[in-house]
Structure 1
């Protein structure tokens, strides 16, 4: 582990949720309609359900059998042809205290030289689109409220300045979405998570949703888009004869290329820029996590090129005051994969909008978050410090 003269701020850490993360605080009327884990078989991984339907994205408990942190590092670097499975040498993640317990995690963070982190869901990023379906719709917001209460209780929203848990929000119902945003902001949340993609025929930057974005800007809340289940599998896969609901880590090459990782975040950020969200809310801050960064350069070139080609009256919600690439640089923070070309991203976006994220304790992440320092070693020490610490610290200040 590299030795640094300061403790880092990690923009991508995770917990493994217990079985009751959605059920502990669920309203009684929805107790059998929310996300739950069936362990009636006695042995083996628990089976995950949404109501009486099997969970599409995570069919079994996410922490039950999972590779240890850092297991895929050399494979992802291209240094090894083995180790490409996230379930290689599996462990029971729920039995490792620092993955499930706040006190143990703080002790681990001290050992890892991590001062603070953005703490993100594992199961939680895989269920909101399924809850949008007609048969589950009325359970969507009760489920999100229950999860967020569990998160506040077990991990907290960051009042201690160390673990910044990010609650789940949704724009499917604007009134309920704003109400839950108000509740978690009042409880101290500095980040909220949204699912990438359109919201049932609307761009997320449609002025219809402005009350939500206005409150985020006013409260200084950072909006996070983290990889997970999105509507894109239904939108793009089905017309090509592919599965509408491929499970996590079981995508075919074409399913992955069409509807996972890059496509959801590229399309979503295109909408936020092109539909002038940041022109209306110039102080809004959007953070991308675990989507990598290999797509950023091509997206900025494409947006600027298209903006030059077309007249200003073709912006349906008004023309942004800046070039699209400059709008992106002003309002978006990117957390690259450790295996990405981080110095090139810094040159493209500027040193203030790049965040270091370890993805600890997931197998595709880093065992020691400070290992990310290896990826920025060619940069000036002051720039390294911004990426490894100061940029995330500024977002929570």
Structure 2
């Protein structure tokens, strides 16, 4: 056993999708409308929505960035005179089978002293935005992806080592409910939704729109939480209003002003829509988590909710701040002030997520504990590193580890 005395549960891990993740099970009628992988000279490009999509500029993931190599950049600690681009280090995908193979990944978990991980897409986090103008293709593509995900990784296996989150789009409410039933029937223990307005045929909808209540009801009844993981939420359209670029491009040229304008607005607005539009009032057993969206938005949202509840008391059946603290779990970035977050929402709702094996994450996942030094006790640290993840899943006893 490690120096903590227990194995941790990392709620933010990733796989690198195979090229056929969205096509292996896609019906023929959608093969020209969904995700297509095409050769462009020596390179492979993804075509979605009838245009080349550069959310992930290299969908083969070969070569791939080394885990944690951008740590100093994301901590804002690049030494003077060091070119940020020099921090980028890559390796051959074939050297890391654990990125695409479940059995190999479990062996890595043993070395990392992790009991379990929640796993999210890499390429897949940009698909719904790219296909949002074609809702049938969106729903068919995500269903095909979920078939691939269960086939290659499994939503949940008897060893409970890896929990993969199937992707759910609410764009077609009836198809969304059918997809939820499908993944629950396959044993999914959590689902993944994009933190963004819901695409619609005429106009976007709030997550709190009544048409989505059957999905929320089914998930609440099943005790299966919703994870809102960082992805392409379409919010660069706001940056475009200021003259910035409209489409996200991974590792492309970044205008810092875009970061200022967009930042964490998508998750802020997503959680606000659930609270202000009454989702937790109508579905009091629903649990959600914010993964890889940071935590600074929490303080702004609480301030705004408190003010709104005072200004428009008839619009809130319950105290909206209490709703957030009861229903929402948060995985802060490791470089943030976790003690400040604990003082704001309580330690019971904070999760440990390393973003492994992404370059902006941690090379050693459990080194996250070093950034929890501000917490007052080992018991609080254990909650963040393990127990709160079990509470989110609704599991009281996980294993003998």
Shared fold (TM-score greater than 0.5)?
yes
Paired residue for 1:354?
Answer: 350
Of 317, 321, 326 in structure 2, the residue corresponding to residue 325 of structure 1 is 321
RMSD, aligned α-carbons: 1.9
Q: Is the 8 A contact 1:18 1:94 kept in 2?
A: no
Distance in 2 between residues matched to 1:347 and 1:193, nearest whole Å: 28
Sort the Cα spacing of 1:109 and 1:26 in 2 relative to 1 into closer, same or farther, 3 A. Answer: same
2:246 to 240, 244, 247: 244
Partner of 2:215: 212
Deviation per CA, 1:334-359, whole angstroms, max 9, x where unpaired?
Answer: 00011011121112111110000010
Q: Which sections of structure 2, spanning at least 5 residues, go unmatched?
A: 396-401
Q: Distance between the aligned counterparts of 1:6 and 1:340, measured in 2?
A: 24
**Distance of 1:122 and 1:311 partners within structure 2:** 41
2:394 is equivalent to residue 391 of structure 1: no
> 1:339 corresponds to which residue?
335
Deviation at 1:187, TM superposition (A): 0.4
Q: 1:100 to 1:305 in 2, by over 3 A?
A: same
**Residue in 1 that maps onto 2:52:** 54
Deviation string 1:181-226 (CA, Å, 9 cap, x unpaired) is: 1100110111111111222432111112111111110111111111
**1:247 Cα deviation after fit:** 1.3
Cα distance between partner residues in 1 of 2:284 and 2:324: 11
- Is it true that 1:90 corresponds to 2:90 in the alignment? yes
Residues 263-302 of structure 1: per-residue CA shift (max 9 Å, x gap): 1011111111111111111111111011111221122112
Distance 1:395 1:83 in 2: 41
Residues 3 and 75 of structure 1: CA distance in aligned 2, closer, same or farther (over 3 Å): farther
Q: Is the 8 A contact 2:232 2:248 kept in 1?
A: no
Aligned to 1:54, what secondary structure does the other structure show? strand
Aligned-pair CA distance for 1:366: 0.8
What residue is the counterpart of 1:17 in the other structure?
A: 17
Match of 2:205 among 181, 202, 205: 202
Is the 1:257–1:263 contact (alpha carbons within 8 Å) kept by the matching residues of 2? no
Query: Does the Cα contact within 8 Å between 2:194 and 2:228 map onto a contact in 1?
Result: yes
Taking the TM superposition and a 5 Å limit, the aligned residue runs for 1:118-197 are: 118-133=118-133, 136-160=134-158, 161-197=160-196
> What is the CA–CA distance in structure 2 between the aligned matches of 1:195 and 1:254, rounded to whole Å?
23
SS at 2:65 equivalent? coil
Tell me how far apart the structure 1 counterparts of residues 299 and 55 of structure 2 sit (CA, whole Å). 30
Aligned in 2, Cα 1:129/1:217: closer, same or farther, shift over 3 Å? same
Q: Distance in 2 between matches of 1:363 and 1:18?
A: 19
Q: TM-score normalized by structure 1?
A: 0.91
The whole-number CA distance in structure 2 between the counterparts of 1:309 and 1:254 is: 32
Q: TM-score scaled to structure 2, two decimals?
A: 0.91
Q: Quick one: structure 1 residues 49 and 86, their matched pair in 2 at CA, closer, same or farther if it must change by over 3 Å?
A: farther
Number of residue equivalences: 384
Secondary structure at the counterpart of residue 79 of structure 1: coil
